[in-house]
Structure 1
């Protein structure tokens, strides 16, 4: 029995900025496979005819008067979606609409979020591939669950659960990281399905120099969205051990307790307290107020 045979309504959301070359093809391919699905193209301030082509292909189009960012487009699409299940995918031709069925099949097994995990050869370049590999390992450590592709934008999710976290999502490109960690933190079930992402058509909207700081910001976001104490405790322990070690050295050689030892010990204590306070704040963020 297929997922869609269970009378579950499906919405497909495609954020798009200057994707006139591919958006019509992607929408048509989705309609051919899922004729009853609601297809929403969020035109994020495009200066080409992305909106017109998407409309002609049969999609519902939401237009931002100016570019607000990928995450903002995702939020607009999620608010407009009428389906019980939402599939998010790119409009640039990287994601194969045929893989939607594999994601939906896993939702049918009881998962709340199913992510298409890009396999070897699917990353845009070596640098981004290495960065994503690091994110995956860090997220695996933080959550205690194997994370296959933390930053993949191809995912299927139960709509009512995704909307619980809209207020957490940034307007930029790190919405996949934020939403995945939020689902883990809330105790929802997450599954990864291997996919192959094709090279994108046209020019990427990610600027390596401008977005370079995203690497560090995403690392801290992973920690603060799941368990800050897991991120701060190792750093606190390192400073504390360095302080003890330096004190042992200076006491043996100079028979004194130095300012450097005090600084490192204090830093270790402060980092631990910051992690503890952040842990409490994070717990409040996910408090169910229903």
Structure 2
């Protein structure tokens, strides 16, 4: 299979010193691209030592931006994305590629168990993401946020405009593939402890946690999220109306009942509008894929 390997890297000298020789050993003919996202250590020197292609950013733009730069530079029909911190086993690439040959457009290396997560907090957050996303797409999603995956390059490029420059590119790309009707598969993997310093920030990534929750819904089917909320709020308004009338003995809408029912209607209309905007968002990529 004609594939390229893309590794986003910011100050990953230690991890790359372990990962690159193993990649060269397992896949000597593969195109390997390391995207240097404004590193200040010896990341570039390690890449030069092992003769891999380096795409450098003059300053740090984020993990997602590095992924996009690597995808544009890749020449293979498929792209393998993996981290440069030594967590992913290069030998697992072959297992993901076998899954692709079964007809999948994207195959994700799914981490299993608490031991494969950096912390209990991240395991809890990722479990919630997986359950929410599975409910959205009506299919089990084993790992929504894994950065170890194989994708059809042409189809992945059609979604670059959707990808953020930050760390949530795996979530966005996975939901985009599901939304476009492409086949997404999962292969269980084990991950090692990362080498070097983590770039995770508790406060920043805590905010990102809530943003991803909303992004999951808006990327796939917003109305599936907004409609239950609108029904719940409206029913609370009706319940308030009933309780108020039973207690007062008169038939009248209270301010709270009116507010809740109107708010429920507004939430529904916002969801309906978001659904239409989502359809337009994917229209260009569908047309591009059809014409190619």
Unaligned runs of 5+ in 1: 1-7
Query: Per-residue deviation at 1:102?
Result: 0.4
- CA drift at 1:223: 0.2
Report the secondary structure of 1:40's partner residue.
Answer: strand
The answer on 1:95 being equivalent to 2:91 is: no
Give me the whole-angstrom Cα distance separating, in 1, the residues matched to 2:107 and 2:287. Answer: 26
1:112 to 105, 116, 136: 105
| Counterpart in the other structure of 1:261 | 257
Q: Deviations over 1:43-92 (max 9, x none)?
A: 00001110111121121001101000000000000000000010000000
SS of residue matched to 2:56:
strand
**Counterpart of 1:117 in 2: which secondary structure?**
strand
The residue aligned with 2:168 is: 174
In the alignment, does 2:201 pair up with 1:207? yes
Change (3 A) 1:89 1:39: same
Which residue, 32, 36, 46 being the options, matches 1:43?
36
Q: Are the counterparts in 2 of residues 27 and 58 from structure 1 also a CA contact under 8 Å?
A: no
Q: TM-score, normalised by structure 2?
A: 0.96
Alpha-carbon distance in 1 for matches of 2:24, 2:244: 72
Q: Does 1:165 align with 2:163?
A: no
SS of alignment partner, residue 253 of structure 2: coil
Distance 1:275 1:207 in 2: 32
Deviations 1:250-286 (A, max 9, x none): 1111223111001100110000111111000000111
Partners of 1:164 and 1:210 in 2: how far apart? 29
* Preserved contact between residue 23 and residue 90 of structure 2 (Cα < 8 Å): yes
- 2:266 pairs with one of 267, 270, 279: 270
Q: Distance in 2 between matches of 1:210 and 1:159?
A: 30
Matched, 1:14 2:12: no
RMSD: 0.8
List structure 1 segments (4+ residues) > 3 angstroms apart after TM superposition.
none
Matches within 5 A, 1:113-152: 113-120=106-113, 121-152=115-146
TM-score of the aligned structures, taking structure 1 as reference length: 0.96
Q: Matches of 1:272 and 1:79 in 2, distance apart?
A: 39
Q: CA deviation at 1:177?
A: 0.1
CA contact (8 A) 1:165 1:182 kept: yes
Q: Deviations over 1:149-177 (max 9, x none)?
A: 00000000111011010000000000000
Quote the Cα distance in structure 2 between the aligned partners of 1:59 and 1:166.
Answer: 24
Deviations 1:88-119 (CA, angstroms, capped at 9, x unpaired): 00000000000000000000111000000001
Could you tell me how far apart the structure 2 residues matched to 1:59 and 1:228 are? 42
Three-state SS of the structure 2 residue aligned to 1:97 is coil
- The answer for the alignment partner of 1:4 in structure 2 is none
SS for the counterpart of 2:185 is: strand
Partner of residue 216 from structure 2, selected from 183, 200, 222: 222
Q: Any idea what SS the aligned residue of 1:212 has?
A: helix
CA distance in 2, matches of 1:211, 1:93: 21
